Amino acid sequence: MDSKELLKNLNRVNRLIAASLDTESIANVVTNQLCPIVHADLCVFAHYQQETQEFQPSSSDISRTLLPEVLADLVSITSVADTSDPILLRTKELPSRSEASIAIRQMGIAQFLLSTISSSNQLQGIMLLGFSDPKQHVNDFEKSVMSFIASQVATSLEKATLIASLKRQNDQLEGIYQSSLKVNAFLHLKEVIDSVLVSVMDLFPKTSNAQIFLYDGEKLSFEVARWREHETVEPVTIPRKYGLTYLVAQTGEPFIIKNIRNHPLFTDMHSEKNQGVTGIPLKSKGIVVGVMNLVYSSAHETTEEELRLLNLLGAQAAVSIENAKLHQLIESQALTDALTGIPNRRSFESRLRDEILRSARYKHTFGLVTIDIDNFKKINDTYGHPRGDKYLVQFVHCILDEIRDTDFMARLGGDEFVIILPESNLETSTRLVSRLDKVIDSYPYRLPDDRISHHSASFGIAIYPEQAENAEDLMSFADQALYLYKRQKDLEET
């Protein structure tokens, strides 16, 4: 399963869990959806009943469901409750006469991953992934997936418990549910965060504005703010080092201020306003990844009931933010050249298709310029590939300084590059090539022996739709033009 398919499946499971309103639904999603992702033979999910202090198990295979007392024995002898990370154990490592060892061996499980599901320092349940093959390689990938799902399950279990215990607040609970669905429908970070704030403003009508900051363990960065239609005050984009937002981020605890006018944290602001502020940490796997601030239009003391709702939204937001970051990372890696940091071939092919569609729709021409560094192989052969890589990075920066922000440069591979010039014709494309030729030729590249070296490049130009009306033919024309360019240079040099 490639990374794109994996992300798609994780997002699907994540949405299904987030949409589940009761323990049974959560259990069904986990036990039915998790095994195929990690190639496990058995998945057991057990919700821990706080009242009876017993596990309520369910399994991907009803005939192989572990009994509550077996699960309790397993938790006890493995001490899994003492760690937040999944643990990997071989069945033969369990005490041979223990209930857990006997039951698991009878089920044909040779090794298993075990993880607790905890929320607010309270045990909510456990998950077990069983593998029949003792030689199957179980590594950090399976642990990461399990940990990710456990985090979402913990949030959803807390939500389910809240829904069950606060039936009288149907409107608010419905709002949380809808927020959960909306947030998990987005993959991009700003969309996720904006969706969270929309839900917050709907659920807490007394707020005048709400803001979310991301936290990397040291520094807070502003992401998104929302305010009422009548609100005209600009959001605080740079939080004070010793202010409320940093306090919440560093302690990982919510902070409620009934009125900023007479609170020590706001003394230096000399505010005459009567406003309440509540700061909520956004925590994923116990780590603060952001802070959400709610600012009220008047003095306001957040109740325990409201705080529970905010913590629930915060937990959901944190998981969705981490999910969006993961998607962003995978998407970026898939479309970016690792060496130079510019788009790669895959990204270029997508952009070229889009540019053809756009230009066809608006009747524009655009230029396509292919670039090949002359005699680049000599640099690698003489000074080694690391020095050649350094030259490629400098070469890219040299060109980026000369093209427009709207132009698109990509690395096709090796020393081959391409530039898309939107709304350009042959004349403007030729002028750019002439300028690039001079800039590249005069660029001072310092060699390991401190000599200054100059290099040149060859170019090919194709114009849409004059030379071709599809991507393949356009590239073919530009490559042929580059070949003729090189040949002409060789003739001139001889």
Give the pLDDT score at 168: 47
Give the pLDDT score at 348: 94
User: Helices marked H in 374-444 — which ranges?
Assistant: 376-383, 385-400, 426-442
Give the pLDDT score at 428: 95
| Beta-bridge mates of residue 343 | 336
Residue 36, classed as helix, strand or coil, is helix
How far apart (Å, rounded) are the C-alpha atoms in residues 468 and 472? 9
Give the pLDDT score at 420: 96
- The phi and psi torsions of 287 (rounded to 5 degrees) equal -105, 135
pTM of the entire predicted model = 0.42
How far apart (Å, rounded) are the C-alpha atoms in residues 38 and 31? 12
- The phi and psi torsions of 111 (rounded to 5 degrees) equal -150, 155
Give the pLDDT score at 431: 95
Q: Is 484 left (phi over 0), alpha (psi -120 to 50) or beta?
A: alpha
Cβ 421 vs Cβ 429: under 8 Å:
yes
| Beta-bridge mates of residue 227 | 209
Amino acid, single-letter form, for residue 243: G
Give the pLDDT score at 185: 47
Amino acid, single-letter form, for residue 326: L
Q: Given 3-state DSSP classes, what are the helix, strand and coil percentages for the chain, each rounded to the nearest 5?
A: 50, 20, 25
- The phi and psi torsions of 311 (rounded to 5 degrees) equal -65, -35
How far apart (Å, rounded) are the C-alpha atoms in residues 369 and 482? 9
Treating both helix axes as pointing N-terminal to C-terminal, what angle do 99-106 and 68-78 enclose, rounded to 10 degrees? Answer: 120
Which stretches of the chain drop beneath a pLDDT of 50?
Answer: 168, 185
The first and second tokens of residue 484, run together, are: 């003729």
> Could you tell me which residues come within 8 angstroms of residue 222 by beta carbon, excluding any fewer than 6 positions away?
211, 213, 235, 236, 237, 238, 239
How far apart (Å, rounded) are the C-alpha atoms in residues 459 and 480? 10
Within 13 Å and on the Cβ side, how many CA atoms surround 149?
34
Among 349, 355, 340, residue whose Cα is nearest residue 421? 355
Residue 24, classed as helix, strand or coil, is helix
pLDDT in tens, 307-340: 888 888 888 778 777 777 766 666 666 678 888 9
How far apart (Å, rounded) are the C-alpha atoms in residues 50 and 117? 13
Cβ 378 vs Cβ 479: under 8 Å:
no
The residue assigned the tokens 């739709």 is 465
The first and second tokens of residue 40, run together, are: 């496990």
DSSP code string of 307-372:
HHHHHHHHHHHHHHHHHHHHHHHHHHHHHB-TTT-SB-HHHHHHHHHHHHHHHHHHT--EEEEEEE
Estimate to the nearest angstrom the gap between the alpha carbon of 80 and the chain centroid.
Answer: 28
The first and second tokens of residue 290, run together, are: 């952001």
Give the pLDDT score at 432: 95
How far apart (Å, rounded) are the C-alpha atoms in residues 230 and 218? 34
